[in-house]
Amino acid sequence: MSKEKIIKHIDEIKDELIQVSLEIFNNPELNFKEFKASKLLAKKLEEAGFSVELGVADLETAIKAVHPEISKGPTVAILAEYDALPEVGHGCGHNLIATAALGASLAIGQIKSEIPGQLIFMGTPAEEGGGGKIFMIDAGLFKEVDATMMFHPSATYTMVGRGGLALSEVKIEFFGQTAHASADPESGINALDAVVQTYNAISALRQHITSDARIHGIITNGGVKANIIPDYASASYYVRALDTNYCKELVKKVEACAKGAALSTGAELKFSIIEPSYASRKINRVLGEAFLKNLKIINVPIFPMKPGAGLGSSDIGNVSQIVPTIHPYIRVSDESIPGHSKQFAKASSSEKGHEAMINAAKALAMTAIDVLTNPDLVKAMKKEFESK
C-alpha cells in the first residue's frame, strides 16, 4: 500500500519536478558553485517539512535534509548531484539526478509517519571533479547511514551493478629557462620538450597496463610564443583502474615517465596528486536487485550494458566503500549518444529524460521503503557488504 501511495504522489507532483529539473538545467553551475541549484532544492525540502542544513561539511552548496518523523529502524540517505560540466552544461544529466532524489524524498516524506527509521536527503556538490561526497564522508555525515542510493541517467541502458574505476588526478609541471629560440637556443631549457616527452612515454606505457585501466590527459600550457624557449609547461592527467591499489601503482609509473623527461631535458619537475582521489565502486547486488524489482513494478524495461563497455569514475565509489550503496542507470535516449556531450545535455532536458527521472524517483522511493521496512533485506544487504 505504501508503494502505491509513493507512485501516486510522484505522479501528482510530476509537473513541479520537471520544472525543478529545467530550472537546474537552464542555470548550469560548475563544481562547488551550485548556488542556485542547492538553494532551490533546500527550499523545496524546507517547504515539505524537512529539517534542512545548507552548507554542511564546510561546503557552501552541500545539503543535509532530515525528515522529522524519526523512529527506531534503518537510516536511508538518498543522494543528489547537481553540478554541470564546463561549456557542455548538464551533459551528464545531474539536473535529473538531483530532481529524482528530491521527488523520491518528497514522496517518502508524505508517508514517513507510517514507516520506521530515518530518511535523509544528501545534496552532494562537485561530482565532476572536486569530490564533494568525500568531504561529506570526512565530516562524518555517513556514519549512521545504513544504505545510500541515487540514480544516474544513461544514453542507452537501464541496469544496476555497473562498477566504477578508482581515479587519481595528477598535475605535471616543468620549469626550464627562456632563451631566443633561433639566436640562442643552446642557452635555454625547454619545458615543453619535457612535457612532450612525458606525453609520449605515457602513451607507450598504455601498452603495458591492464585492460580495465585508463590513463588520459591534456597539455595545459605549452609556452607563449614560438621564438621563445618555454620556461614553463604543464599537463593534466587522469589515472584510473578497477583496483584502487593498482591505480596508485600506475600513478607512480606516470611519475617515473615525468622524471625521465626531466632528466633528459634538464627541466625541473613538479609532480602533484590532486586530492581527493576517487575510490573504485563496491557493488551491492542485494540492494540492486530490490531496485530492479521496483522498476519492474512500474513497468520500466531493463536494457543491460554490453559486455566490455567502458567505465567511468565517481565519488559515489568512496561512499560505496563505507556503506551499502546503489547507483543504478536509466536510459534517457533511444539512440546511442556520447556522455559528457551536448547531445546528452539535450537528452537531459527532453521528454524521455524527464520520464526516466520520474521513474527513477519512484523506484528510489520504493527501494528506500524496502530498506526501512524489511529487516531481512537489511541483514542480507549488510552481510554482502561486509563479505567484500
Reported confidence tier of residue 219, pLDDT bands at 50, 70, 90: very high
List the domain range (segments joined by +) for residue 338.
2-164+281-387
Reported confidence tier of residue 307, pLDDT bands at 50, 70, 90: confident
Residue 25 has pLDDT above 90, yes or no: yes
Q: Model's pTM, two decimal places? A: 0.92
Same domain, yes or no: 175 and 197: yes
Same domain, yes or no: 152 and 207: no
Mean pLDDT of the residues in the chain: 97
Same domain, yes or no: 330 and 207: no
Residue 284 has pLDDT above 90, yes or no: yes
Q: Report the percentage of the chain scoring pLDDT > 90.
A: 96
Same domain, yes or no: 299 and 318: yes
Contacts of 178-185 with C-beta under 8 Å, sequence gap 24+, read 178/228, 178/229, 178/230, 178/231, 179/228, 179/229, 180/227, 180/228, 180/229, 181/226, 181/227, 181/228, 181/229, 182/227, 185/229
**What are the respective helix, strand and coil percentages of the chain, to the nearest 5?**
45, 20, 35
Reported confidence tier of residue 166, pLDDT bands at 50, 70, 90: very high
Same domain, yes or no: 22 and 124: yes
Would you state the pLDDT for residue 15?
98
Same domain, yes or no: 213 and 341: no
Same domain, yes or no: 143 and 84: yes
Same domain, yes or no: 153 and 38: yes
Same domain, yes or no: 214 and 286: no
CATH number at residue 189: 3.30.70.360
Q: How many domains is the chain partitioned into structurally?
A: 2
* CA 145/CA 252 separation, integer angstroms: 35
Domain boundary residue, one of 229, 249, 278? 278
Same domain, yes or no: 145 and 67: yes
